[in-house]
Amino acid sequence: MEQRTISQETVVRQLLDLGVQPGGVLLVHCAFSKVKPIEGGPAGLITALQKALGPEGTLVMPSMSWDDEHPFDPLTTSCREEMGIVADTFWRQPGVLRSNSPHACAAAGPHAAEITRPHPVEIPHGPDSPVGRVADLNGQVLLLGVGHPNDTTIHLGEFLAGVRYRLPVSLVIRENGQLKTVSYGEINHCCKNFSFVDGWLDELGLQRRGKVGNAEARLARSCDILRVVVDHLRENETTFLHPPGVDEECDEARASIPSGG
């Protein structure tokens, strides 16, 4: 049975009822396939998000590429495969700024320039990154049709907690007009156990749930996500890693932890 198209007005009301703060900073992760059909399609959802935030609000979306073999170009590099059609539509819109990094975010609003200013490639989701800057601005994180395994803010929590696991990464960037290969260790694993954060936030009443469009939505303050993640990781830095033998990426992450520390 074909679903009825949901008006932008309805989506704005759903966002405000969920707790999106007008005038605030909002980092959105979205699976449009779960949200649709929305009046105006992906661009219509973006319009609804901006209406809910109002003219003083700043909308932020991940805009990163997983293509490590070609230099990232903020003016041309697609992120549809990695981040979805809404994120890929957003960075292409007039007035939207996009950071110049393979780990880019795009933003529109009063804090857009601050959030998208240059950030280090070797620390993708540290304090000096768009995700870190959203947290500094007391931003909110909105998950539309996706769960916390897609929540980039949790990687910032791992960094702040001082986890020691790293996976080797090499990528090509353009620096001073020349191609350059950068190699570093990135905090990463399969990320499926980021779903634990649901229970941690719910238990403390720090997450709101509802419906936006046809999707299940979760909303939490970035600082609250970071607090619960850091607290749990300082108790056990391998909290998010599967037991040995379950997942190859998690096994590699475990093996990278220095012994005797």
End-to-end CA distance of the chain: 57
pLDDT of residue 98: 98
Contact 118, 78 (CB under 8 A): no
Residue 20 gets which letter from DSSP? Answer: -
User: Between vectors from CA 28 to CA 27 and to CA 29, what angle results, nearest 5°?
Assistant: 130
Query: pLDDT exceeding 70 applies to what percent of the chain?
Result: 98
Band (40; pLDDT cuts 50, 70, 90): very high
Residue with token string 């070797």: 122
**Nearest 5°: phi and psi at 253?**
-65, -45
Q: Give me the mean pLDDT over the 77-83 stretch.
A: 94
DSSP string covering 93-114, please?
A: STT-EE-SSTT-EEEESTTHHH
Separation CA 77–CA 67 (nearest Å): 9
pLDDT digits (tens, 9 = 90+) for 99-143: 999 999 999 999 999 999 999 999 999 999 999 999 999 999 999
DSSP letters for 51-67: HHH-TT-EEEEE-----
pLDDT of residue 260: 57
Q: What is the pLDDT of residues 205-245, one digit of tens each?
A: 999 999 999 999 999 999 999 999 999 999 999 999 999 99
Q: In what order do the strands lie in the sheet with 105-108?
A: 97-98, 105-108, 58-62, 25-30, 140-144, 215-221, 207-212
Q: Residue 176: what pLDDT?
A: 84
pLDDT tens track for 173-196: 888 888 989 999 999 999 999 999
Q: Is the pLDDT of residue 197 over 70?
A: yes
Query: Does 261 score more than 60 pLDDT?
Result: no
Q: What's the rounded mean pLDDT across residues 18-36? A: 98
pLDDT tier at 3 (50, 70, 90 boundaries)?
confident
Coil, helix or strand for 135?
Answer: helix
Please report the pLDDT score of residue 2 as a whole number. 67
